[in-house]
């Protein structure tokens, strides 16, 4: 007897084949729960991959959580279970009841669910996202031709739940995606950022994980609203020419009973050997990158955010932990690869596949690696044995920079190289300079409280540090609150201390960061040759005794170049002279001594004419009175 013809919404042989090969890039349209029409009946089609389960049924509000009411059919050869249930209403909660090979029953949330019960609840919700409303066609079309190497990228890293809260609310006081979208657009446009990076968007059970321990990879967290609300926010940012990046966590997942861990009673998504499949330090499971279906789950998830929800880039968390088999492990706690080395060959292949597919299908999108070691060619071409990322977090620069900034200015002359060393490898990768949430938690102090001294000195140090960062080679990222000198460390439990902006010192820092960001975005010399040797040039990298750094940023056509002078001590240099390459006029664009930046407000000439007088190995120079912790940016 011939097998009945599959309905279009059902899992077919081709779906199974592609999923088994790891190449079903839209598998999220088949697995999970989907509202469909079966003849004259409206209902929901459920499909879940549980290869070692003895049986699976769907339990939920629609069947009073009865484990016998809706058994699922096993589809071979992959062990995908399916069923159609009529009359299931929108947003009804459900789980999969899985009978394990040992005869136990476990209840799991849907790995492909698009919406979830608000924590502490752990159920999935039936939710139709098939008709999201978009009006960002212009943005998406422009994105196809956008090149991150040639354009400004200044990122505002934000945790929605603690950026701002509604006062006096009995619940968490969270802004919804729509509330946040309206407010963040106004703030980001005013400040001059080009992109917003959101942490903690994929569904996660514990607020304190900040979203880095995910249970719902295909579900925007219900803390802030529905998937439609999330799409509205993305659309709204795009309509105002603001890009949006998500933190994405393919490195590990938590052991919560309703999540991916031991999904069908066996290690399904994770490596079976605990030496491969567990992070001892983090108490989490590691994805099995050698399993095609798991690779497919993750690659399709990246595409889900970039293609289905129009996300402009993914910041990939904890890349180093994936690349190294011995990451965070002692001898005997890890298994070498077939060559006896500590490289995870399967993770390397995964990254090459991931980046080739995501960026190949979506020109103009970005894949950004948070990679903390000297692994070669992280942003190199896959064809040249690189990993294929667009950008890499420059953790070396961040470490050296923060160590230098913490020093008493008296000792900076002995550590001058901390600020110059990054230029020796600046072109080995495509870098983004980051001062992220990780630098202002766990007793590391806020950025302001890392600074030495008291009062004026702290704020002045922060100003000159930010200026150096903005002038340095590399894209930029600042975590929320750093732009107005948040005093306390960040906590996900409370909103930022916006009341500080009533204090002139904090308002001055915000003014300074705003003007630096607009300078960065509006002056091509700051970004268009970021990844080329000709884009940056030291004037004096060796003035260690005075702890002064001077350098130039060049535009490609050479018509609008910038000169930075940064004084990292409280000593005034009234007789400061800087060498320059041309006998031109140098226009003062930015002066940290202005009153709005917390300076003295002393009047200064706006134009300086270079004289034929050798300085810094240059034939020409001009004099400029450099105040304590002074910053001056000139255009020529």
Nearest partner of 486 among 445, 514, 541, judged by Cα:
445
> How many Å is the Cα radius of gyration of the chain?
27
- Within a domain: 286: no
- Within a domain: 40: yes
- Within a domain: 355: no
pLDDT in tens, 225-257: 999 999 999 999 999 999 999 999 999 999 999
CATH code, domain carrying 118: 2.60.40.10
Using alpha carbons, list the distances in angstroms from residue 578 to 342, 403, 515, 594, 632: 49, 27, 23, 21, 11
* Domain end among 125, 160, 179: 125
pLDDT of residue 597: 97
- Within a domain: 111: yes
pLDDT tier, 424 (very low <50, low <70, confident <90, very high otherwise): very high
> Using CA atoms, how far apart are residues 374 and 438, in angstroms rounded to an integer?
19
Average pLDDT of the chain?
A: 95
> Using CA atoms, how far apart are residues 306 and 293, in angstroms rounded to an integer?
20
> Is the predicted pLDDT of residue 386 greater than 90, yes or no?
yes
Tokens matching residue 532: 């080329």
> Is the predicted pLDDT of residue 302 greater than 50, yes or no?
yes
pLDDT tier, 9 (very low <50, low <70, confident <90, very high otherwise): confident
The three-class DSSP label of residue 255 is coil
Range of the domain at 563: 533-635
Q: What is the largest CA-CA distance in the chain?
A: 97
Gap between the terminal Cα atoms of the chain: 83
The answer to whether residues 174 and 161 touch, using CB atoms and an 8 Å cutoff, is yes
pLDDT of residue 5: 66
Catalytic residues: 317, 370
pLDDT of residue 39: 78
The three-class DSSP label of residue 21 is helix
> Is the predicted pLDDT of residue 176 greater than 90, yes or no?
yes
**Phi and psi torsions of 50, nearest 5°:** -145, 70
> Is the predicted pLDDT of residue 319 greater than 70, yes or no?
yes
pLDDT tier, 443 (very low <50, low <70, confident <90, very high otherwise): confident
pLDDT tier, 265 (very low <50, low <70, confident <90, very high otherwise): very high
pLDDT of residue 1: 40
243: CB partners within 8 A, 6+ apart: 194, 195, 196, 237, 312, 313
- Bridge partners of residue 607, in order along the sequence: 587
Mean pLDDT of 401-430: 96
Burial class (CB in 10 A: 0-12, 13-18, 19+), 423: middle
> Is the predicted pLDDT of residue 2 greater than 80, yes or no?
no
pLDDT in tens, 87-114: 999 999 999 999 999 999 999 999 999 9
pLDDT of residue 3: 53
pLDDT in tens, 321-378: 999 999 999 998 999 999 999 999 999 999 999 999 999 999 999 999 999 999 999 9
Using alpha carbons, list the distances in angstroms from residue 184 to 25, 158, 314, 401: 32, 10, 19, 28
Q: Is the dihedral of CA 421, 426, 427, 428 positive or negative?
A: positive
- Give the pairing of strands 313-316 and 366-369: parallel
> Using CA atoms, how far apart are residues 200 and 297, in angstroms rounded to an integer?
19
pLDDT in tens, 555-588: 988 889 999 999 999 999 998 999 999 999 999 9
> Is the predicted pLDDT of residue 185 greater than 80, yes or no?
yes
DSSP 8-state symbol, 145: T
pLDDT tier, 37 (very low <50, low <70, confident <90, very high otherwise): confident
- Above pLDDT 90, what percent of the chain? 94
pLDDT in tens, 482-491: 999 999 999 9
> Using CA atoms, how far apart are residues 83 and 340, in angstroms rounded to an integer?
46
Domain count, the chain: 2
In the block, tokens 């535009």 appear at: 555
- Within a domain: 365: no
pLDDT of residue 4: 59
Tokens matching residue 239: 């309509």
* Domain end among 77, 110, 125: 125
> Is the predicted pLDDT of residue 170 greater than 90, yes or no?
no
- Above pLDDT 70, what percent of the chain? 99
Mean pLDDT of 398-403: 97
**Phi and psi torsions of 350, nearest 5°:** -60, -45
pLDDT in tens, 426-435: 999 999 999 9
Mean pLDDT of 198-224: 96
- Within a domain: 57: yes
* Domain end among 108, 125, 142: 125
- Within a domain: 417: no
CATH code, domain carrying 614: 2.60.40.1180
The answer to whether residues 632 and 624 touch, using CB atoms and an 8 Å cutoff, is yes
pLDDT tier, 167 (very low <50, low <70, confident <90, very high otherwise): confident
> Is the predicted pLDDT of residue 543 greater than 90, yes or no?
yes
């Amino acid at each position: 007897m011939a097998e009945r013809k599959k309905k279009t919404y059902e899992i077919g042989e081709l779906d199974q084949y592609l999923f088994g090969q790891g190449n079903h890039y839209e598998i999220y349209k088949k697995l999970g729960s989907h509202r469909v029409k079966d003849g004259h009946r409206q209902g929901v089609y459920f499909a879940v991959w549980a290869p070692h389960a003895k049986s699976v049924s769907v339990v939920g509000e629609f069947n009073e959580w009865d484990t016998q009411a809706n058994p699922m059919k096993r589809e071979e050869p992959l062990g995908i279970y399916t069923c159609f249930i009529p009359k299931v209403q929108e947003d009804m909660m459900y789980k999969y009841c899985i009978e394990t090979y040992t005869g136990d029953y476990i209840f799991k949330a849907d790995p492909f669910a698009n919406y979830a019960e608000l924590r502490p609840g752990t159920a999935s919700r039936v939710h139709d996202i098939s008709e999201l409303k978009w009006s960002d066609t212009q943005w998406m079309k422009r994105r196809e031709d956008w090149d991150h190497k040639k354009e400004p990228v200044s990122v505002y890293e934000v945790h929605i739940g603690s950026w701002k809260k509604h006062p006096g609310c009995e619940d968490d006081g969270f802004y919804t995606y729509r509330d946040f979208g309206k407010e963040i657009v106004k703030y980001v446009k005013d400040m001059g950022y080009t992109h917003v990076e959101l942490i903690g968007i994929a569904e996660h059970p514990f607020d304190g994980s900040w979203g880095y321990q995910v249970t719902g990879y295909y579900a925007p967290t219900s803390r802030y609203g529905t998937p439609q609300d999330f799409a509205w926010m993305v659309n709204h940012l795009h309509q105002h020419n603001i890009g949006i990046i998500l933190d994405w966590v393919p490195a590990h997942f938590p052991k919560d009973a309703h999540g991916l861990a031991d999904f069908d009673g066996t290690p399904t998504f994770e490596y079976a050997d605990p030496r491969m499949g567990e992070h001892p330090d983090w108490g989490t499971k590691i994805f099995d990158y050698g399993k095609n279906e798991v690779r497919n789950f993750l690659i399709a998830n990246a595409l889900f955010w970039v293609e289905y929800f129009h996300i402009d880039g993914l910041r990939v968390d904890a890349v180093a932990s994936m690349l190294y088999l011995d990451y965070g492990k002692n001898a005997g706690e890890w298994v070498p690869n077939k060559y006896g080395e500590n490289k995870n060959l399967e993770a390397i292949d995964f990254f090459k596949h991931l980046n080739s597919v995501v960026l190949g299908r979506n020109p103009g999108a970005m894949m950004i690696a948070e990679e903390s070691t000297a692994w070669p060619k992280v942003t190199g071409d896959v064809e040249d044995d690189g990993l294929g990322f667009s950008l890499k977090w420059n953790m070396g620069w961040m470490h050296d920079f923060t160590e230098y900034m913490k020093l008493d200015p008296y000792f900076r002359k002995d550590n001058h190289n901390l600020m110059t060393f990054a230029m020796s490898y600046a072109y080995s990768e495509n870098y983004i300079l980051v001062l992220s949430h990780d630098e202002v938690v766990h007793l590391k102090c806020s950025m302001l409280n890392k600074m030495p001294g008291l009062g004026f000195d702290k704020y002045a140090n922060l100003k000159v540090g930010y200026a150096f960062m903005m002038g340095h080679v590399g894209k930029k990222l600042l975590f929320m609150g750093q732009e107005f000198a948040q005093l306390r460390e960040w906590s996900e439990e409370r909103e930022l201390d916006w009341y500080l902006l009533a204090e002139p010192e904090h308002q001055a820092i915000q003014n300074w960061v705003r003007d630096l960001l607009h300078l960065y975005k509006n002056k091509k010399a700051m970004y268009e040759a970021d990844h080329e040797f000709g884009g940056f040039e030291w004037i004096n990298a060796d003035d260690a005794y005075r702890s002064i750094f001077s350098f130039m940023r060049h535009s490609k056509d050479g018509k609008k170049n910038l000169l930075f002078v940064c004084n990292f001590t409280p000593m005034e240099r009234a007789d400061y002279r800087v060498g320059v390459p041309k006998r031109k006029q140098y226009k003062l664009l930015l002066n940290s001594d202005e009153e709005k930046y917390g300076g003295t407000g002393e009047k200064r000439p706006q134009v300086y004419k270079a004289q034929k007088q050798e300085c810094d190995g240059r034939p020409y120079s001009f004099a400029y009175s450099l105040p304590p912790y002074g910053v001056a940016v000139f255009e020529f």
